[in-house]
């Protein structure tokens, strides 16, 4: 690989790292360490495919690799740490803390979805991809992608409704 291709790859990774890491984190259910591993694995695959995809759609290629790898890794049993049901007391602050808490709660509920539903919801609503692209990334028909997304959103709504604590 020539120097200019290597520089192009470096520029792409530097520019897109935060967004791709966020996607990987959402796909892994919020686990930052697994997300970083997943993203690095995807970028290694991109490095080898770079001559083919550099001029086309490298980000779409990485999204597809991430979604598939996340679904594959979700099937493996993991014996690591387990999250606790209740966090330590939250710090007192304004609306920003409430927004962060709500986002954290949503990401925790997102982690409870099956891997393919989670991938469909994340790609469709967090990444704002059209249904056709979601179907291509998940390597399934558009109807299946729609179904996965709809079921994922419905389950998220149920989980969020069940997790609301009554106000005293």
* DSSP state string for 99-142: HHHHHHHHHHHHTTS-HHHHHHHIIIIIS---HHHHHHHHTS-H
Q: Which H/E stretch holds residue 77?
A: none
Query: Is residue 47 over pLDDT 50?
Result: yes
pLDDT at residue 167 is higher than 70: no
* Residue 81: inside a domain: no
Non-local CB neighbours of 65 within 8 Å, separated by 6+ positions: 41, 42, 45, 46
Given this model, what pLDDT does residue 163 score? 79
Is residue 147, in this structure, part of any structural domain at all? yes
Q: pLDDT-derived band of residue 79, with 50, 70 and 90 as boundaries? A: low
More confident residue, 18 or 5: 18
Considering the domain boundaries, does residue 88 fall inside one?
no
Cα R_g (the chain), whole angstroms: 18
pLDDT for position 168:
46
Q: Encoding tokens for residue 148?
A: 């996965």
Q: How many domains does the chain have?
A: 1
Find the CATH number of the domain harbouring 19.
1.20.140.160
Tell me which residue range forms the domain holding 70.
3-76+95-163
Q: Which DSSP helix (H) or strand (E) runs through 168? A: none
- Summarised one tens digit per residue, pLDDT across range 100-126 is 888 888 888 999 999 999 999 999 998
Return the percentage of the chain with pLDDT > 90, whole number: 49
Task: Give the whole-angstrom CA distance, residue 35 versus residue 111.
Answer: 12
User: Does residue 91 surpass a pLDDT of 70?
Assistant: no
> Does residue 89 sit within a domain?
no
13/21 Cα distance (integer angstroms): 11
Q: What is the pLDDT of residue 69?
A: 85
Separation of alpha carbons 34 and 42, rounded Å: 12
Distance separating alpha carbons of residues 104 and 134, to the nearest angstrom: 24
Quote the mean pLDDT of the chain.
Answer: 85
Element (H, E) at 81: none
| pLDDT > 70 in the chain, percent | 84
**Cα–Cα distance between 57 and 28 in angstroms, integer?**
23
Residue 163's nearest CA partner among 118, 109, 117 is 109
Indicate whether 82 belongs to any domain.
no
């Amino acid at each position: 690989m020539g120097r200019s291709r290597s520089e192009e790859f470096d520029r792409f990774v530097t520019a897109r790292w935060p967004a791709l890491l966020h996607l990987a984190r959402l796909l892994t259910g919020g686990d930052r360490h697994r997300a970083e591993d997943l993203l690095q694995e995807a970028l290694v695959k991109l490095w080898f495919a770079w001559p083919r995809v550099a001029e086309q759609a490298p980000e779409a290629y990485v999204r597809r690799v991430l979604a598939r790898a996340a679904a594959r890794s979700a099937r493996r049993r993991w014996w690591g740490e387990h999250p606790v049901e209740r966090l330590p007391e939250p710090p007192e602050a304004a609306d920003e803390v409430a927004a962060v808490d709500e986002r954290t709660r949503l990401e925790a509920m997102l982690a409870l979805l099956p891997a393919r539903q989670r991938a469909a919801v994340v790609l469709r609503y967090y990444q704002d991809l059209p249904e056709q692209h979601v179907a291509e990334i998940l390597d399934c028909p558009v109807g299946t992608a729609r179904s996965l997304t709809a079921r994922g959103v419905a389950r998220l709504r149920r989980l969020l409704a069940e997790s609301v604590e009554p106000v005293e």
